[in-house]
Amino acid sequence: MSLPPAFRNSTRPMPLSLLGHLAREFGAQVAQARLERYRHDPALFVQECIAWKPGEGPTPYQREILSALTQHRRVSVRGPHALGKTALAAWVVLWFAITCDGRDWKIATTASAWQQLVQFLWPEIHLWAARLRPEAIGRGALREGIELLDLSLKLRTG
Ligand SMILES: Nc1ncnc2c1ncn2[C@@H]1O[C@H](COP(=O)(O)OP(=O)(O)OP(=O)(O)O)[C@@H](O)[C@H]1O
Ligand SMILES: [Mg+2]
């Protein structure tokens, strides 16, 4: 962020419009730096970018799996019913999309049966997308039908 030449080394007061512009630019840079941090730390993204109710949050095993994502090329998980596997997959989709937007990104969501995607994974993505904290992700909520589509996300660059 830099001042326009006329205001460098100047003692003239800055117009409010310029101050507003600088504040917005500074805010955008802070948001970008924070997203960059989350891009390398999906567990932190889930902890800080989802509006958790008191006492809630990712479980230790969910955090461990999230951390493994940036340490290994492939991560495979299995576990008993209702452990939070689909929720975890939904967080991963949101983490990757939001922190990579602006770059060329793609996420393939797949399952052994189409119904798994329609009835479980994508509804779960919608559920958690609605709980993202705009102030943490540095952008407005994902809008149904615009960015958040039935079975896909449509952000700026992916
Ligand atoms: N850490 C969490 N905090 C709060 N709710 C959670 C958390 N993890 C998962 N959930 C919720 O718990 C419920 C069960 O989780 P989920 O559907 O992800 O389990 P699953 O392991 O995929 O189950 P299944 O074996 O039936 O596919 C869902 O409503 C999900 O949103
Ligand atoms: Mg599931």
The per-residue pLDDT for range 5-23, each reduced to its tens digit, is: 766 777 777 788 888 888 8
Q: Looking at ligand 1, which atom is closest to the CA of residue 58? A: 1
**Contact between residue 121 and residue 129 where contact means Cβ atoms under 8 Å apart:** no
| CA nearest ligand 1 atom 25, residue | 81
pLDDT tens, residue order, the chain (158 aa): 666 676 677 777 778 888 888 888 777 788 888 999 999 999 999 999 999 999 999 999 999 999 999 999 999 999 999 999 999 999 999 999 999 999 999 999 999 999 999 999 999 999 999 999 999 999 999 999 999 999 999 999 99
Distance CA 55, CA 123 (A): 24
**Contact between residue 153 and residue 97 where contact means Cβ atoms under 8 Å apart:** yes
Residue 84 near ligand 1, beta carbon < 6 Å? yes
- 101 by DSSP, 3-state: which? strand
Kindly tell me the burial class for residue 153, based on how many C-beta atoms sit within 10 Å of its own C-beta (0-12, 13-18, 19 or more): buried
Q: Looking at ligand 1, which atom is closest to the CA of residue 89? A: 18
User: Measured in angstroms, how far is the CA atom of residue 29 from the centroid of ligand 1?
Assistant: 34
Mutating to test ligand 1, I would choose from 83, 117, 121 the residue with most ligand atoms within 8 A of its C-beta, which is: 83
Q: Which long-range contacts (CB under 8 A, 24 or more apart) does 64-73 make?
A: 66/42, 66/91, 66/92, 66/95, 67/41, 67/42, 67/43, 69/42, 70/40, 70/41, 70/42
Question: What is the pTM for the complete model shown?
Answer: 0.87
